[in-house]
Structure 1
Amino acid sequence: MFPSLLELHLSDCLVESAKVPLSLQKINFTSLSVLELSNNFFNTSSFPNWLFNLTSLRKLDLSWNSFSGPFPGELASLKSLEYLDLSYLGLKGRIPRVIGNMSKLKFLSLRGNQFSGEKIEEFFWSLSNYPNNTIALESLDLSYCGLEGQLPASLGMLKSLKHLHLSLLLLWGSIPESIGNLSSLQTLEVFGSYRNGSIPESLGKLSELVTLHLSWNSCEGFLTEAHFTNLTRLKDLRIFKDEIEKPMCPILNVAYDWVPPFKLHNLHIIHCKVGPGFWIMLQSQTELVDVSLSNTFISDSIPKEWLSKISSQVKYLDLSYNNLSGRLPLELKFPNLQYINLGHNQLEGPLPLWPTNVFSLDLQSNLFSGPIPSNLDQLMPKLGYLVVSENHLNGTIPLSICNMKDMEVISLRHNQLFGEFPQQWSLRSTIRIIDVSHNNLSGNIPSSMGMPCSLRTFKVNNNNFSGEIPFSLQNCTSLIILNLGGNKFTGNLPLWIGSNVSTLEVLQLQSNLLSGHIPHHFCNLPHLQVLDLAHNNFSGTIPKCLKNMTCLVEVNDACQGFTFYGDYYGKTTITSKGKELEYGDDKLAGWGNMIDLSSNNFAGEIPEQVGSLLELSMLNLSMNRLTGEIPSSIGKLRWLETLDLSHNQLSGHIPQNFSSLTSLSHLNLSHNNLIGKIPSGNQLQTLDDPSIYEHNPSLCGAPLSTVCPTDDTKTGQTFPAEDHSKDDKEGFWFYVSMALGFIIGFWAVCGTLVLKESWRYAYFNFFDNVKEKVALTIGLKVARWQGRL
């Protein structure tokens, strides 16, 4: 009802679709030229029809809502429209050709929609072949919208185009030579789109190009000097290659003496092999601010001259995953440097001293040696991210590290550090991740460790720590990963696990001296995906409440992967399939979902509720004192890859439905009292190692050599094998007793009559008297019967 209203901005205002009518009987704000409704809560299948009557509209922004219907062709009626942003609306179907009739349109973004399977050739045809179209487009963003096909030559007709974004589409073939006609182009982004093809040398004609962002998955797509001939304004160059595919050919291949015509500010080349002349070319780039050359197969020492030339501007330096060697200068003057990553190289010597402005320092997986400076808090007071794991550092952890108020990540794993853990952690500490695993540290974990309530990951495994698990850790209510394994901790399971702290996703307490029962409230860990209590002295029964661990029962939004801080991912060792396997924490979610209670003193039966843990991939209950039968519910665990129930006192048959465990690749049921025929079929057919079932005397069938004598094929029921040696013994004694009975009975009567004459006369005289009495009785009966007749 505001006829004079020219602009209406309602972005990020929590407006719900129910509050916006789809139709209006009367519209008075037809003078409106700008309408912004982005990032609200619209969730309808169609656009409000009154939008199409705003004929004065020049700018329309509906991005980051959910209309989820087809692209509205009626938008073509808004002839004055110059700016149209329909990003992330969930639009489906086809893009109507009438969009080519929007002749004044300068900005168009269809980013993040769902035009899956639609051809990108048809879209560009509509722009270049619609009648009376002057093609005024200056910015076009089709990234992440599902278009596929090959870029047509008609792309070169968009001569007003300044910004072109085509990331994460499914494109094939080469970029057309006509791209060289886009003389006004400033931004070209085709990251993650092409599966093959090449980059034309006409790219070198784009003299206005400032940003070039390419991702190529084919060896045909390499760049040479010709691609950069006239790119004098280029400031941002980013070239990525698929990390999975090995970069077997050079992606950036230039001559040794080539001097590029540009001075880059941002250079990102990741997972791409650069040519031998690249390092020389790089030394000419003295205005770099943001540098990332990760996994580029550079094998050399870092030129000190180059470091000194770029030192005044550079803020971000990433040379990780190469083969850089040698020693760095002990003192480097980078006044603006904030982030440095030289991890996964062959650098050696003592830890270099960096400028006081550095926030993030990553030197992991190198050959650095010597101690960590004791005055680290003075040398690098702003340090918040310290990762020097997998080196040869020795000495103690400096006490000054406790006073660094900005410290958020400390990773010192796999070094040769010794001594006690720092004791006096500051109450104001913002520490989120501590990983000191695989060292020679000893003593107790200080109670002050529970004071930084922001702690999310705490790993001290594989050291020599002792004492009880500190009660103060109950204050860390956001704890996600807790790994105390491989130490000498004593006492019971802490009562705060499952009560005060219920956020745990990974809990590893293996290989300690812990004892006692598992309390019932321990099951109140709905996010838990890795539970390892192996090699302790726990007793009692396995709790039935394990089914309360929701993420082991079903997948939901809270179980999509472990939560980390920033871009730090540590490593976790898991014993699976009889081997110790090390996973990056970012990969653990795909291989985790495990319970290991092996090598304890658990007794009683395996609870039937274990079969509720449908997302379980590894279950190890071996080396306990478990009794009873194996629950048939285990056969429902469709993702189970490892099952170890060996070295217990289990009895009964192996459940027939074990043949339904189609993911099973490691099975061990040895050293029990199982009986009957081993089930067969499906995945079990491939597990043909007899040691899986050894030391179960009453088991039979393949892969064991013991043949089952009976097999009821109608019911599928199997019976234990008969003990033939026992039957033979019983038959022998049966016949012996028969013979003895005959001999004793015969000679007891007949022998007496033969030897004693008086007994013999009396015996036969008795039978004569009986015979006469019987004959007289029969005669009398016959006479009476005849008299009656």
Structure 2
Amino acid sequence: MGTLYSNLFNPPYISHFLLLLFLASSYLHTSSHFCFCLVDGVPSTSSGRSCIEEERSALLSFKQDLKDPSGRLSSWVGYDCCQWQGISCTNRTGHVAKVELRNPYPYFGGDDEWDELAYNQSSLGGQINPSLLSLKYLNYLDLSYNDFDGIHIPEFFGELQSLRYLNISEASFSGEIPHSLGNLSKLNYLDLHCTSCLFEIHSKNLNWLSHLSSLKHLNLNRVFLHSTGVPNWLHHVNMLPSLLELHLSNCFIESLPLSLQKINFTSLSVLDVSYNYFNTSSFPSWLFNLTSLRKLDLSGNSLGGPFPGELANLKSLEYLDLTEFGLKGRIPRVIGNMCKLKFLSLSRNDFTGEKIEEFWRSLSNCPNNTIALESLDFSDCGLEGQLPASLGMLTSLQHLDLSSLFLWGSIPESIGNLSSLKTLDLYSSNLKSSIPKSLGKLSQLVELDLSNNSWEGILTEAHFINLTSLKYISIFNSYREMPMSLLLDVAYDWVPPFKLHRLNIGGCRVGHGLWELIQSQTELVDVSLCSTFISGSIEEWLSKISSQVEYLDLSYNNFSGRLPLQLKFPKLWSIRLGHNQLEGPLPLWPTKVDTLDLQSNLFSGPIPSNLDQLMPRLRDLDVSENNLSGTIPLSICNMQEMSRISLRNNQLLGEFPQRWSLWSVIQLIDVSHNNLSGSIPNSMAIPSSLMVFKANNNNFSGEIPLFFQNCTSLVLLNLGGNKFTGNLPLWIRSDVPQLQVLQLQSNLLSGHIPPHFCNLPSLHVLDLSHNNFSGTISKCLKSMACLVEVSDGCHTETSFESYDEKTTIMSKGIQLEYEDYQLTAWVDMIDLSSNNFEGEIPEQVGSMVNLSMLNLSMNRLTGEIPSSIGKLRWLETLDLSHNHLSGHIPQNFSSLTSLSHLNLSYNNLTGKIPSGNQFETLNDPSIYEHNLLLCGPPLLTVCPGDDARSRQTFTSEDHSKDDNEGFWFHVSMALGFIVGFWAVCGTLVLKKSWRYAYFKFFDNVKEKVALIIALKVARWQGRL
């Protein structure tokens, strides 16, 4: 210290010291009180000193324009802004250098409403005041995961010349990225991604990007770059020599250039261009020169082609994601040379027929088996084969996904060697064997999914003995018709070593020990015990389940009794108890449940009138196939969040509620198979969200309402089995472009089929049978696009696929029941039977090559059967019976190789029935009965001209047959005589003892016969 003082007062240092005091006094004169100390000869602020007044005022102005519902900025008071939350100052100058206001509760989507609530409450919003420009030394700005409700990214950000870090990701900005950001020449880190936002950020070109020469990290995920010129994005990225990480996922980029003249960003270590729209058939060659690359994500694109072996040149690669990349063919063995690879995903590619054993064999290329793999995903990529014992050598593996493959054999015992394994997914991998007990060694295992396989044997506590980390287990078979030969039978007094969060057991039998296992799992959130053959009191079972449960599925069992009046599950949002034997009135609890499935039970009584008050958040209600009675309460229309409601197959009566237009997000309504009556008024305003409406098999009357024309999302409409009258409404045309299934059968409808009716581009199931329609069958049927040719809009998967709604249609001469999703996905049919149509069958019917069922029976059709029907290669059912058709059956009908049901009876057809191919199996004479001039098999009537030929053929065949039979008869007689004669006589000649016995036997017989005859004669003479 003495040395310091002596140096300060030496002549060379006095002037410097005085100058320093002068500068400090000047600063104190223009700002608040500010103390300093010397650190290495430089003045520095301490944690207890105030900030610069100008910057403090700027921050207060910035705060004033923000919305802060949770009071996160409540610490922004007083003079020392360096102590405010989210603010940091430099040690040397005291200037504000860092504004970090990232939301401490980021929300990534999902169903957890508590996370969403915390996010909303802690989000900053409002406007961003340009006062930030006063922070001349600001080098770090983070506003990520807030909610600025679609405001544009401020232009003035480009004037913050000192910025090195800018993160406004997931903050709900929108609009064009300001080109002024190109002025931030010192910027190292830029993150603008917004994957979960409702607003769009876009950039018409990336000219501004090439000026950020210091940039090391760039994240533009979900920024729309679709209008960017084809080569531009890569050209501008190539101008960033310092770039280490590039994230351009989901940017709608349409091109991935295959070559670059010179690569400037050779230091790149992370490249993510996943889920874009690249249109090329090969890998870009410049990728293989990025030798510093550690992470490469090309997933969700469609480059196609074989797996590029050149990827093995990227020796530093640790992460490779080629999920859904269109790869085909073989997995090259060089992949085994990538010994640093920790993450590998080839999921949803096409390696059909490739053996999974080959991959494990290639891993032996790594020296000393030093395999670094931590995550391996081969799901749904077509691999097949048997899991080898060498699976156990992947000792670093933490995540293994082999779901949806074609595996056989069993899980190798060596799987117990994967001591680091945390997730194991073998869902739907076609395995059929017992589950090895070595699974019980995986002490780090958190998630285990063995669902949709054909497991056998018994699962005991030995399979779970060391699974201390297990949180999720799924051993479930979704095919209820084919339960597994598996028994889950743990000891009644067994204490599990784990605390499960999710338990999914189904499609197998369970022992009594499950009761105690369930009771011990106090942290369960998700419980599914569907199709486990459990019986007993439902109330007693519910009492054993953790009160923390949010999702509960006990459907398809044998539970009985009544449900409790109150539930102990405060967080429950979905409960499924369908297909049991529960009884009593409908149980409705005042909870936040949004899904209630009680279908196929024995519930009775009315639907409670205060349903909207008890369960105001209900979205999905299914009480179909019970014994409910009474009317549909009007209060049900007040449930504005209602999305799907099924009251099918009960005993409900009265009219349909008139205020159901209040269901603003309704998608599915099924009130079929009840006793509802009255008309459906046109005044009702149906929401456009409606996809399925089924009111069939009731007593509705009046005309078909016009309001369906507003349902632009309508996919399935079934009004069959009612008393609707009038003509087909005019709205059945292009107003409902999504309509796939239209069923109006068994009503009192009349009139002609108007030509515009054919302008339904998605229609592929049409049932107008059993009405009073008349006129001719329109030639415009060929305009039904989905029946003429397959397009992307046909047979689309709908959001009601997971529901058990069913529809009955007439097919193959019998009533067949289809689930609704099957009807929209698989069936192509036209049924116009039992009407008054007349005239000829139009030749244009033959253009609907996708038809599987055609029924025109019980009409007044005349003329010949058009030969074009023989072109319908997928036709399975054809019924033209009970008409006035004449002429021959077209010979090309024999080419209908899919045909399994045919009915041409009760017509005036003539000539010979076609033969060959599929017609050989259609040998039931009733198919052709009451066609008096038809002939040929399977009828007994012989066709003219075939009689003489058949007699001639019969005579020649008969003579030939007689000659052959006579010849072989004589041959067999001669052989029989020779063999018989020498078998007896030859033995008697050769063997003396047998010969003596033989003649002695005949002597005895002769004497006995003579004695019997003599006695008979004596008796007869005595009687005379």
Scaled by the length of structure 2, the TM-score of the pair is 0.67
| C-alpha deviation, 1:711, in angstroms | 5.0
How far does the alpha carbon of each residue in 1:563-610 deviate from its partner, in whole angstroms, 9 at most, with x for none?
Answer: 343622411110223322221112224662111111111111111111
Aligned pair 1:270/2:506, yes or no? Answer: yes
**Alignment partners' CA distance in 2, 1:389 and 1:98:** 57
User: Secondary structure of 1:282's match?
Assistant: helix
**Alignment partners' CA distance in 2, 1:322 and 1:345:** 5
Correspondence for 2:298: 62
In the alignment, which of 382, 388, 397 is matched to residue 623 of structure 2? 388
User: Secondary structure of 1:51's match?
Assistant: helix
Distance 1:677 1:133, change over 3 A: closer
In the alignment, which of 731, 736, 739 is matched to residue 501 of structure 1? 736
In the alignment, which of 665, 680, 686 is matched to residue 451 of structure 1? 686
**Alignment partners' CA distance in 2, 1:141 and 1:221:** 28
**Alignment partners' CA distance in 1, 2:335 and 2:874:** 49
Letter in 2 for 1:342: L
**Alignment partners' CA distance in 2, 1:665 and 1:582:** 18
How far does the alpha carbon of each residue in 1:183-241 deviate from its partner, in whole angstroms, 9 at most, with x for none?
Answer: 22111112222433333212111111111111363444642211100111110001133
How far does the alpha carbon of each residue in 1:39-92 deviate from its partner, in whole angstroms, 9 at most, with x for none?
Answer: 112233332222222222222211112232332333333232222222221223
How far does the alpha carbon of each residue in 1:128-166 deviate from its partner, in whole angstroms, 9 at most, with x for none?
Answer: 442255222222222222222222222222222211111
**Alignment partners' CA distance in 1, 2:241 and 2:826:** 61
Correspondence for 2:707: 472
Correspondence for 1:486: 721
| C-alpha deviation, 1:489, in angstroms | 0.8
Correspondence for 1:16: 254
Distance 1:69 1:641, change over 3 A: closer
Correspondence for 1:362: 597
Residues 576-615 of structure 1 mapped to structure 2, 5 A cutoff: 576-589=811-824, 592-615=827-850
Distance 1:84 1:662, change over 3 A: closer
Correspondence for 1:510: 745
**Alignment partners' CA distance in 2, 1:221 and 1:61:** 41
Aligned pair 1:417/2:637, yes or no? Answer: no
**Alignment partners' CA distance in 1, 2:290 and 2:916:** 68
**Alignment partners' CA distance in 1, 2:354 and 2:812:** 46
User: Secondary structure of 2:451's match?
Assistant: strand
User: Secondary structure of 2:629's match?
Assistant: strand
How far does the alpha carbon of each residue in 1:238-296 deviate from its partner, in whole angstroms, 9 at most, with x for none?
Answer: 11336277235224222223222111101112323333432332222222111122222
Distance 1:590 1:663, change over 3 A: farther
User: Secondary structure of 1:27's match?
Assistant: coil
Letter in 2 for 1:362: D
Residues 228-243 of structure 1 mapped to structure 2, 5 A cutoff: 228-241=464-477, 243=479
Residues 435-446 of structure 1 mapped to structure 2, 5 A cutoff: 435-446=670-681
Residues 97-246 of structure 1 mapped to structure 2, 5 A cutoff: 97-131=333-367, 134-215=370-451, 217-220=453-456, 222-241=458-477, 243=479, 246=482
Letter in 2 for 1:77: N
**Alignment partners' CA distance in 1, 2:284 and 2:948:** 68
Q: Is the 8 A contact 1:128 1:157 kept in 2?
A: no
Distance 1:492 1:162, change over 3 A: same
Q: Is the 8 A contact 2:427 2:451 kept in 1?
A: yes
| C-alpha deviation, 1:496, in angstroms | 0.9
User: Secondary structure of 1:482's match?
Assistant: strand
Distance 1:592 1:150, change over 3 A: closer
In the alignment, which of 507, 522, 536 is matched to residue 757 of structure 2? 522
| C-alpha deviation, 1:533, in angstroms | 1.0
In the alignment, which of 617, 635, 649 is matched to residue 870 of structure 2? 635
Distance 1:455 1:589, change over 3 A: closer
Distance 1:284 1:480, change over 3 A: same
RMSD: 2.2
Q: Is the 8 A contact 1:294 1:320 kept in 2?
A: yes
Correspondence for 1:302: 538
Correspondence for 1:93: 329
Scaled by the length of structure 1, the TM-score of the pair is 0.86
Q: Is the 8 A contact 1:425 1:452 kept in 2?
A: no
Correspondence for 2:547: 312
Q: Is the 8 A contact 1:465 1:487 kept in 2?
A: yes
Q: Is the 8 A contact 2:457 2:486 kept in 1?
A: no
In the alignment, which of 609, 612, 619 is matched to residue 377 of structure 1? 612
Q: Is the 8 A contact 2:643 2:668 kept in 1?
A: yes
**Alignment partners' CA distance in 1, 2:601 and 2:298:** 50
**Alignment partners' CA distance in 2, 1:245 and 1:128:** 43
Give the length in aligned residue pairs: 711
Aligned pair 1:281/2:521, yes or no? Answer: no
| C-alpha deviation, 1:321, in angstroms | 1.7
Q: Is the 8 A contact 1:403 1:426 kept in 2?
A: no
Correspondence for 1:7: 245
User: Secondary structure of 1:552's match?
Assistant: helix
**Alignment partners' CA distance in 2, 1:187 and 1:221:** 23
In the alignment, which of 321, 329, 335 is matched to residue 564 of structure 2? 329
Distance 1:104 1:400, change over 3 A: same
Residues 538-687 of structure 1 mapped to structure 2, 5 A cutoff: 538-561=773-796, 563-565=798-800, 567-589=802-824, 592-687=827-922
Structure 1 residue ranges (4+ consecutive) displaced by more than 6 angstroms after TM superposition: none
**Alignment partners' CA distance in 1, 2:387 and 2:735:** 57
Q: Is the 8 A contact 1:196 1:216 kept in 2?
A: no
Correspondence for 2:71: none
Letter in 1 for 2:874: W
How far does the alpha carbon of each residue in 1:508-546 deviate from its partner, in whole angstroms, 9 at most, with x for none?
Answer: 111111111110101111211211111111111110111
**Identity between Structure 1 and Structure 2 (%):** 77
Structure 2 unaligned blocks of 5 or more: 1-238, 950-1024
Distance 1:230 1:660, change over 3 A: same
User: Secondary structure of 2:438's match?
Assistant: helix
**Alignment partners' CA distance in 1, 2:554 and 2:366:** 49
